[in-house]
Structure 1
């Protein structure tokens, strides 16, 4: 199918809905859903779950996008380590446990708010990765229109570009994804990763992840960022000094280009 064919399929899917509750992260996928729902004048309410597992900048982006598209927006603050059973042990089915908790809440809120259909932003490319959370989405009766329309990440960015919306926003998985599976995670450990990534981002490197391996910080970055960091002694020194101040003993750069879900290789 061409991009135009996929776009028409998405529009036809969305036209079937009288009212929608959208699980809205503020990322490119759910932003595209809000854009078309707004364009089609379908009654829509966006729901964003926020916690210390995401930087506040992600929430701000979600708020700004909802305002831009004139979509009613509800923010739900949660304490994952305290509220979601066993999540602190980072089991392989972590995404399933977390999404089951959130979509159970979302289903109740959507019913109370008079929304007939729950939708979320999984896309066609997500089928290629280990995505246990998708099972929870299906169990909640939520639909994934982007996946149903066979829209890939590249397709989504192209459609956002056509709509004059931010199409270059990097994907962002929660901070749990920075840790190996089956280790106990504390709020302090999450804060260390958050501070590490925010600091490196402040130096101008946006496509970066800091993976936690006990006393070692393993930095993953895009190919261009790898070159820029390795070839700049001053930048390297700043990163090493700051990450060691947070408690890491070793700071290393992964020579393989950053890819989402790299910790899934350990499964």
Structure 2
């Protein structure tokens, strides 16, 4: 048994000890494997819970619903309006967001008679800038991947072995990460970003960020795909399409995709 398999065995033992759990499920790489594992060991005592809110892309919410249905787990979707505390996109919006969202999931757990809420933070996340982790710790939310010492590479490799649809899915963050901090986030801006990113994903750029700067869309793709993007503009009319979504100027960031490039330094 190789190292990822040994870690997965440990993960299953950790999950079994809970006796039942709510799994915070976004449909991303990490939470999909976590839900798969929870279903394997807990059966009907594994419940997926997702938050539907304006700054979570509709397409990702749809993928979460589809996967939960596919593997036959109970899936609770909590609809939530845009929290007033996040409207001005404070620098610590991840902390505030996690505090609000997981407080909602605590209510879901109580209604379902479940003691444990699990989420998909992995070992690599601990060395990144993740203010939301502080909120998870304050609310006593468990992170089984951390407990089992699973890295992002482990999670992708195990997902590939289990033929999960997310094994090679690019990492995504909520749409607030596309907005400048300390600036009002409008519903129109969220819609523009989501429309633009859905279009760019469909034409072949799965790892993309559309950073919103008022009338300007600053697009980040991996540095080795900059020329591909310019070619795609000629074929698909990216510039004109994003202007249809409401942008006046469309810019390609020559530095390539950088995680958290709008974080306040």
TM-score by length of 1: 0.91
Q: Does 1:179 align with 2:176?
A: no
Partners of 1:129 and 1:261 within 8 A in 2: no
Partners of 2:209 and 2:219 within 8 A in 1: yes
**Match of residue 32 from structure 2:** 31
Q: Does 1:53 align with 2:82?
A: no
Partners of 1:103 and 1:137 within 8 A in 2: yes
**Match of residue 11 from structure 1:** 12
Q: Does 1:199 align with 2:204?
A: no
Which whole-Å CA distance do the structure 2 matches of 1:150 and 1:262 have between them?
Answer: 28
SS in 2 for 1:41: helix
- 1:66-107 CA distance string (max 9 Å, x none): 122221101111111xxx232111001111111111111111
Which whole-Å CA distance do the structure 1 matches of 2:191 and 2:58 have between them?
Answer: 12
5+ residue gaps, structure 1, are none
Which whole-Å CA distance do the structure 1 matches of 2:258 and 2:16 have between them?
Answer: 34
- 1:37-84 CA distance string (max 9 Å, x none): 11113511111101221222212211121122221101111111xxx2
> 1:99-114 residue pairs with structure 2 within 5 A?
99-114=98-113
**Match of residue 69 from structure 1:** 71
- Structure 1's 160 and 254: CA in aligned 2 closer, same or farther, altered over 3 A? same
Aligned pairs, number: 262
**Alpha-carbon distance, 1:173 to partner:** 0.9
After the TM superposition, which segments of 4 or more aligned residues of structure 1 sit over 4 Å from their partners? none
Which whole-Å CA distance do the structure 1 matches of 2:50 and 2:85 have between them?
Answer: 22
**Alpha-carbon distance, 1:226 to partner:** 2.0
SS in 2 for 1:4: helix
Which whole-Å CA distance do the structure 2 matches of 1:132 and 1:233 have between them?
Answer: 36
5+ residue gaps, structure 2, are none
Partners of 1:209 and 1:219 within 8 A in 2: yes
CA-based RMSD of the aligned residues comes to 1.8
- 1:85-134 CA distance string (max 9 Å, x none): 32111001111111111111111210110112110111112123221111
Which whole-Å CA distance do the structure 1 matches of 2:233 and 2:138 have between them?
Answer: 50
> 1:1-267 residue pairs with structure 2 within 5 A?
2-42=3-43, 43-80=45-82, 84-166=83-165, 167-232=167-232, 234-235=234-235, 238-264=237-263, 266-267=264-265
**Alpha-carbon distance, 1:24 to partner:** 0.5
- Structure 1's 85 and 147: CA in aligned 2 closer, same or farther, altered over 3 A? same
**Alpha-carbon distance, 1:224 to partner:** 4.5
Partners of 1:87 and 1:94 within 8 A in 2: yes
More moved, 220-229 vs 66-75 = 220-229
- Structure 1's 5 and 195: CA in aligned 2 closer, same or farther, altered over 3 A? same
SS in 2 for 1:16: helix
**Alpha-carbon distance, 1:215 to partner:** 2.7
TM-score by length of 2: 0.92
More moved, 147-156 vs 14-23 = 147-156
